[in-house]
Amino acid sequence: MAKIAFLGLGVMGYPMAGHLAAAGHEVTVYNRTAAKAEAWAKEHGGSAAITPREAAAGAEFVMACVGNDDDLRSVCLGDGGAFGGMDVGAIFVDHTTVSARVTRELGAAAAEQGLSFVDAPISGGQAGAENGVLSVMCGGDQAAYDKAEPIIGAYARICRRIGDSGAGQMTKMCNQIAIAGLVQGLSEALHFADKAGLDGRAVVEVISQGAAGSWQMANRHETMLDDHFEHGFAVDWMRKDLGICLDAADETGASLPVTALVDQFYKDVQKMGGGRWDTSSLFKRLKAFD
């Protein structure tokens, strides 16, 4: 079993750290709100630290799941940052969805200190984290990945190294690009069914068994039709991710017309007061036009 630090106990990080403890690892957690770290330690039997550096001291692996580029820089390099407490040879695994740019920046900073850095963004939502069935897409050194993969396996259904530093984050952008189009397509299908006087549930029962079927259709159509939008990844977070996608598209020369359009639709949802609604609220935006 390994000595592990986990930084960031949000809706994803809290259960992910719990799976590590349940697997028998020695886990020390850090969270910006210290009370949450203390509650986790009481629930799972681990330890709570008051800074990332303190949490990372002596850890073989330091896992992070925070908010954005600036948050990640802060827990790595800021006052009391984790890199300052890590031993040579230790591995930092970042589960945050951030830009490939900051990943490469921090990967280089880690290497200067004799550390390894694996970018390992996740997909599967809160339910995936709670049930330990996340999809994890990784970038970084092969040897570091090989060591980290069994640890990540405590909360992953699939974990794959895609390439060098930043490849995990770029793969996560592919994930978000695909989801954006799927959710808008599903929203339009349900909206059309309603306008045509059809039973949306009956429509989905049939079309989900054919080429139109998707995870979004199977898991979100019921809540969309019931006007419930508190079941997963928030619109504010999706707009953050789509902004990263669009910036990366500018850098790589990729064309993302649908993604750019759906990003503006999510902006409309924010203006409706739905920044904390889940991403399936694109359907609510269409209904607002009725």
Which residues are registered as beta bridge partners of 156? 134
In sequence order, the 6+-apart residues with CB closer than 8 A to the CB of 34 are 48, 50
Residue 209 tokens read as 């068994």
In sequence order, the 6+-apart residues with CB closer than 8 A to the CB of 271 are none
Q: What is the distance between the terminal CA atoms of the chain, rounded to a whole angstrom? A: 57
From 36, 42, 172, 267, the catalytic residue: 172
Are the C-beta atoms of 137 and 156 separated by less than 8 Å? no
CA-closest candidate to residue 182, choices 286, 279, 276, 268:
279
Characterize 197-225 residue by residue with b for buried, 16 or more Cβ atoms within 10 angstroms of its Cβ, and e for exposed: eeebeebbeeeeeeeeebebbeebbebbb
Q: Which element (helix H / strand E) includes 5?
A: strand 3-7
Q: Which element (helix H / strand E) includes 27?
A: strand 26-30
Strand ranges, E, within 170-240: none
CA-closest candidate to residue 112, choices 139, 95, 92, 138:
92
Left, alpha or beta for 255 (phi > 0: left; psi -120 to 50: alpha)?
A: beta
| Catalytic residue list contains 36 | no
**Active-site residue list:** 172
